[in-house]
Each structure stands twice: as C-alpha cells, then as structure tokens.
A and B are shown apart, each in its own frame.
Chain A
Amino acid sequence: MSAELATMIASADLLVTCGPGGVGKTTTAAALGIAAAQAGRKVVVVTVDPARRLADALGIDVDAHMFDPHEVEGAGANGGSLWALMLDAETVFDRMITDRAGDAAKAQKILDNPVYRSIAGSLAGAQDYMAVERLHQLHTSGDYDLVIIDTPPSRDAIDLLEAPDRLVRFLGHPIYRALTLPSRSFAKVTNAGTSAFLWIVRKLAGPKLVEDTIEFFRSLSGMEQGLRQRAGEAAVLLRARTTSFILVSSPRAEAVSESLHLANAILDGGFRLDGVVVNLVHPMPAPLVGLDDVAPGPLADQVAYHRELTALAESERAEMTELLHLADGVAVAEVPLLEVDIHDVAGLTRLAAIIVS
C-alpha cells in the first residue's frame, strides 16, 4: 500500500507534514527524508521544534539559531544526501528584514526596535509565516531535489496554510495602514480606530511603547509590497502539483478527530493531501482459543495482558478506519509503536523502511 508513498517521495518537490501534537510528526518527516535521500535525492528536512533526541539524531544544535541547513552524516545513499535545518523564526525574520530594508542602517534600526524584538519570535503566526518563507527560499534556491517541511503541531487549525494570507491581512489592517502614513506624530492620525488603539496602548502600557510601536510600523512601510508578493508566491507554491501534504496521526480518538478536521481543511483549501501516516499503533496479537479461567499465576498474567492488548488494538483499529479511507488516491501507512525513541540515523532508516515498504 505504501508503494505510493515511495513513489511520492521519489517525485515530489515539496512535502508538508502536518498533524496534532505528540504523534511523531517530526520523526516521520525525518524518516521520509531518509527514504528519499537513500533513493538518491538531495533532501532538506526543515523542522520547527524537534525533541532533543531527534535533534541529536539529525545533528541539530537547537540553540545555534542556524539559517542554513547542514548535512546529516551517513543518511544518504545512491548519490543522495539528507540535510536538516531547525527553523528559528527570529533568525528568519531578522534575515528577511535585512534583505528587504534597502540599506543597512534602516535594517539595524528595525532590528533594534524593542517592539520588533519582542514580536519577532512571538507575533501570532510569525513562526508559521517564517516556515512558509524559508520553505519558499529553499525550494526556489534549486539546491535541493526535495524540501520537506514539518509544520508546528496544530490542534484544529491550518495555521501554516493560512499564514501568508494572515500576514497580508495584518499588513492591510486599518490600524497598520494609518500608522504607516507619513505624519510626524500620532496626534495627526485622524482615523478614529487608530487613535483609540494608540490611546489604549498608551493607557495600558505607557507612552514609550506607543512611540516604539509607531516607529516599528513606520519602518516596515515600503517592505509591505515585497511581503505581499512573497505571501502570494507561497500560496501558489503550497498548491502546486508537485507539493504533497502528508497527514500524521495516532490511532487515539482525540488525535483522529483533530486529524480529520485538518484533512478537511487541507482539501477545502485546495491543497493536495497525498498521504496519511498513522503512528504509535499497538500490534494486534493472534487470538487465543479457550484459556478463559486460568487460576491466578504467571499464565493468568500473560492471558490478561493478551486480552488487554487485543482490546486496545481493536479499539485503535476502529478509531483509525476513517483516517485510512479518507479519499481515493491517498497513500496510507500504519506504523507500529516502536520499542525505542529514535535517536540515530539507523533508527530513522528502520522507520523509513516501515513507512515506504
């Protein structure tokens, strides 16, 4: 069944993994990367917040604030190679400001602004937008055959998919527009909503923050056009024929329901959902015949465990049915609960074999 996943990995330009938290999404993205690298492709996996051991497996230093991917040793075969990058929203944001500000002095002024500093990492959706931005850069650089992006966990939204649109909306917000008008002081800003906004910010947080805010928005003006254009390009790229979304889930009811919601959002948004990977599935043991009343003792322990495992495995299979039959042409893979946390390339290679075999 997962021959289709193998084909996708061999032909796609861009893979986006998405799904709820705690289902092994990042590990799956890395394993897909290994599978492609071993099929001879040059692959980069971009992750957002890898667990420590997985970061170690990929040779990622989570505190390094890297901008460029590095090669994962010993992961490729047949001329392919695997590269990894942990996305640092602040670093990408800084780079974007530097590239677009026009001159170094103007860029530095923005980078030093306290409002900018505090929003670069925390602006709602900044991380999602920066993921899209970086993915676009890596894709268009032509340096890689395949870009795999692991999205931040999402409970019920398609934050990443909406990020470009949201940024454009934010930039088009009347307050933002009014603030970027060339006037000398905010006393001249006549828009009622905007003066209310500034009045409230000042009342709540003090005049210094108001000055910094105005300054920040003003310094962004002129960059808006570029940001809008990039957001538009990213939206097109995410819907391209060679871009595939892969939904990663677990068989637990909450995860399945979040995943189904996400699947609908992906399909409704005009994106291509091409794969579903269900991780953490308990194995279904072969049935027992008889052995109904075993006296307490070691055999009773074994029988009791067998029954519990069977009940859990059956319940999981019932929950995941809908996920495995989402739509025609969606490749599915079921991945059993593994004995160990993956902490090296060998573990990822093993997982890759399970997903695409």
Chain B
Amino acid sequence: MTGSWVGDAHVVVAAGKGGVGSSTAAAALALIAARDGASVLIVSVDGRPGLGPLLGGQPLDSVDRVLRTIGKGASQGVIRGRTIPPQMAFADYLQLKGINSVLRKAASAASLDAIAAATPGLEHLLVLGKIKELERERSADLIIVDAPPAGHAAAFLRSAAALREVVSNGPVRTQADEIAEMLADRTRCQAMLVTVAEETPVNELVELAYDIEEELGLALAPIVINGCWPDRGGLALTPTAAAKQQSVKLSAANRAALQASAEFGRVRLDIQRHQLARLDEKLALPRITLPRLTTARLGPAELEIIADALAVEPTPAAQR
C-alpha cells in the first residue's frame, strides 16, 4: 500500500493539537489508500461533518456512506465515512450483549448521560468499542479514526485503560481489555501524530507520543509535519544582493516589497528549521512533511496535493 508505513495495520488513529490539521492528514491518508485500491472507512470521533465534503462526499453523519470511489473493477478504491455518536454505540453495544429491546428502550439514549456519569470514560469506551467491532468484522481494509484534538485524544485513547482501574469484572471490563489489546497490537493499530513546526504544537505532540506509546503500547506511525514552507535558500540574501547575482535591476518599490516578504519568510523558515531540529532531538521517529498551501481554505483539490506529499516514503530519523 502507498504510504507503506501503514503496513498491515487495520486501524490508524490520527491525532494532534487543535488547528494543526490532523483531520486533513486523516483525509489525505484515506485518499492515498483508496488510490491503491483499498476500501477505507474514515470515522470522525467528535462528529466533525466537514471531512465528508473534503473527500468529495456528503457531510458525515452516523450513517456509513460512500464518499468517493477511485478507479474501476477489482482494483477500485472506496472511501466511506461516518461518525459514531456515543448514544448509538451504546444501543449497539446493548444489543450485542443480548440485552432485550424493552430494557434497551428504557435504558438507552435518555439515561446514557446518567450511566456515563457513573461509569467514567464510558462514552469514549463505547466509541472505541464500536471501532474495535468494525475492525473485527473487517468492515474495511483500513479504518482511519480522526481523534479529538490533542488533550482529549489522550483521554479518548486512555479511556479503556482508565476503566480497567475502576471496573474489575463484567462485560465492560472485557470490552476494555479487548480495546487495550487492539491498541497495543502494532499489526492491527497505529497512531499517526500530526503537528506543525511551531513550539507549542511540537511540545504537545512529544507529550502525546510518550503518553500513548508508554501507557498504551500504541505503535507510532511516522510523524506528520503539516504546513511546511519550502526551504528556499534565496531568502537568506537581501533582495539587492539576490538581484545583483542575477543581474536584474530592481525598482525601489519592488525592492521594498521583497525586503519585507523575504524578512518575514526568513523568520518563519528559521522557526521551522529550529522546531524540526527540536522534534528530532526529542522524538527520533521517521517523519513526513506536508507543504504549506497558499490558501486558508482546503477543498478536494488541495487534498490531492497533500495526499501526494503524504504518499512519499518517510525520512528515517537517521538520515536527517
């Protein structure tokens, strides 16, 4: 499969600090897997509907729907998408456990709040449990989970482990055990952590990486660094020196305009290089950089560009 690091994993959890583009990376991963003929299911945990249109389909809701197909015949790739509202996961779970429909009706929806209050992390656990079921059924070749933003991502992924501390037996315990087992099995599940090359997002990524790898044994895919400017050496010169080198005459206005933008670009590039070096120091993992696009709004066309960048082989830590 393109993005060969995905390997045989059936589930990839995409996570990162709010605003760094982890949902975008999740969508791009869906696209490259489908280009290779895989059937892909993308699941938005906090119900972000926008992933559907980004992938060329309808806004996501709780119905499992095809968003897009790529190619034809036996090698056709399919991207499906859905959300998993906790209420629905709860009802499905009760049914799975053979709890009859009258009781289910009495207990579901309206009382989930109360039940969830009495059973910490239950909502996350129900959603993870549903994902585990989808994985077990092999509902798709690859299930991509768009996790809640960073702080909540850890809580989301840890919900099974946390519950195991409170509940010592019964089906909830079994459920928690099975989820923990799936998360810790690198042949089944990986986490794709996403950041931008800025101080705070890098710090939070490193923290999240250690949390989930050490506590949950969750395998880390290459680190994805979003929004990288191309490293243009020419920005290091003054516009006058650059123009002189190329024997071009600059008007005063052009010189001033270039001066200001090059100065800004230099500062941003310095930050980018510095933060990438810091990340290397703290986390020696392969990485993939995604380009900074010159638009504030991402659509399907931009996603293709990001997917191309995500499909390259990651740079191993040793080669940087």
Question: Which residues of A come within 8 Å of B, CB atoms?
Answer: 20-23, 49, 51-54, 114-115, 118-119, 122-124, 153, 155, 170, 173, 175-176, 192-193, 196-197, 199-201, 203-206, 208-209, 213, 216, 250-255, 257, 283, 285-291, 294-295, 297-306, 308-312, 315-316, 318-319, 339-341
| Contact A209 to B99, CB < 8 A, known contacts A53-B199, A297-B246, A298-B237 | no
Question: CB within 8 Å of A: which of B195-249?
Answer: 198-201, 203-204, 229, 232-237, 239, 241-243, 245-246, 248
Interface pair A206/B204, CB less than 8 Å apart: no
| Contact A306 to B251, CB < 8 A, known contacts A298-B246, A339-B267 | no
* 8 A-B pairs with least C-beta separation: A21-B18, A22-B19, A301-B234, A298-B234, A253-B297, A22-B18, A298-B242, A311-B294
Which residues of chain B come closer than 8 Å to A255, judged between CB atoms? 19
Instruction: With CB as the reference atom, state the residue of chain A lying closest to B232.
Output: A301
Contact of A288 among B115, B242, B258 (CB under 8 A): B258
- The total of interchain contacts (Cβ-Cβ below 8 angstroms) comes to 212
A-B contacts besides A175-B114, A319-B296, 13 pairs, CB < 8 Å: A22-B17, A114-B166, A118-B166, A193-B106, A197-B111, A199-B103, A300-B246, A301-B232, A301-B234, A302-B234, A309-B264, A315-B295, A341-B198
The size of the chain B interface, using a CB distance under 8 A, is 76
Which segment of B118-126, B178-186, B280-288 sits at the interface?
B118-126
Instruction: With CB as the reference atom, state the residue of chain B lying closest to A282.
Output: B264
Which segment of B4-12, B25-33, B63-71, B168-176 sits at the interface?
B168-176
| Contact A124 to B113, CB < 8 A, known contacts A49-B151, A205-B119, A309-B265 | yes
Shortest distance in angstroms between A192's beta carbon and chain B's nearest beta carbon? 6
Measured in the bound complex, the distance between the Cα atoms of B292 and A52 in whole Å is 26
Which residues of chain A come closer than 8 Å to B155, judged between CB atoms? 122
Interface pair B260/A286, CB less than 8 Å apart: yes
Question: CB within 8 Å of A: which of B265-304?
Answer: 265, 267, 271, 292, 294-298
Interface pair B294/A308, CB less than 8 Å apart: yes
Instruction: Please encode chain B, from 46 to 62, with 1 for each CB lying within 8 Å of some chain A CB and 0 for all others.
Output: 10101000000000000
Which residues of chain A come closer than 8 Å to B97, judged between CB atoms? 203-204
Contact of B170 among A124, A204, A301, A305 (CB under 8 A): A204
